[in-house]
Chain A
Amino acid sequence: NAGVMQNPRHLVRRRGQEARLRCSPMKGHSHVYWYRQLPEEGLKFMVYLQKENIIDESGMPKERFSAEFPKEGPSILRIQQVVRGDSAAYFCASKKQEVAEAFFGQGTRLTVV
């Protein structure tokens, strides 16, 4: 059973470009979290989604950031017009509904130059 897959593992973008981060959940998992992590810091919640629905986006910046989890295909975290402060590791985790355990992918390391 494949784990949570994130791609790309590393992404370099120039200031002003768009970054698209993909997350394929584990088989049978209907819910996805996205987190952001700066070096030597904890995980900061961004958004919690189920297929075709955003459950909680209270951690997501109001501008430039968006997330979706379509009926088919991976969940996408999109950052428009990236700035240097967006440089971080972005992790997604997936879980089954009504189950506590969430499993993480290996993350996408975004570098904005």
Chain B
Amino acid sequence: TQLLEQSPQFLSIQEGENLTVYCNSSSVFSSLQWYRQEPGEGPVLLVTVVTGGEVKKLKRLTFQFGDARKDSSLHITAAQPGDTGLYLCAGGKTSGSRLTFGEGTQLTVNP
């Protein structure tokens, strides 16, 4: 049973478009993290959200944690080819528990 469901699984868009990636669960998480992974590399941490309803911005990326701490979204404004990669969400029930990953969203931004 997959605890974290990411959608869409694949997304191919043109440069300049906006997009949103979703991470949903029926479980409550104490924190949720978003990572970006490029081919042949390890995941790179983008952001951690811990408070229900929290919104964090990282340049053109906006991350939101659901009020009930069961879901999260990543919105990218004016996507660029450099945004291409595998976006992964990961949640922990507590800070001392295992980190569970979603299956990822493979984003391709075409020039």
Contacts and interface: CB of A to CB of B under 8 A. Distances in A.
Interface of A: 4, 6, 33, 35, 40-45, 48, 55-56, 58-59, 91, 93, 97-107
B100 A45 contact: yes
Given A41-B103, A42-B88, A43-B88, A56 B97 contact: yes
Nearest to A50: B96
A59 B3 CA distance: 14
B49 to A, nearest CB: 9
Contacts of A43: 43, 88, 90, 101
Interface residues of B, number: 25
Given A42-B88, A42-B104, A100-B92, A91 B42 contact: yes
B31 A100 contact: yes
B99 A104 contact: no
A19 to B, nearest CB: 18
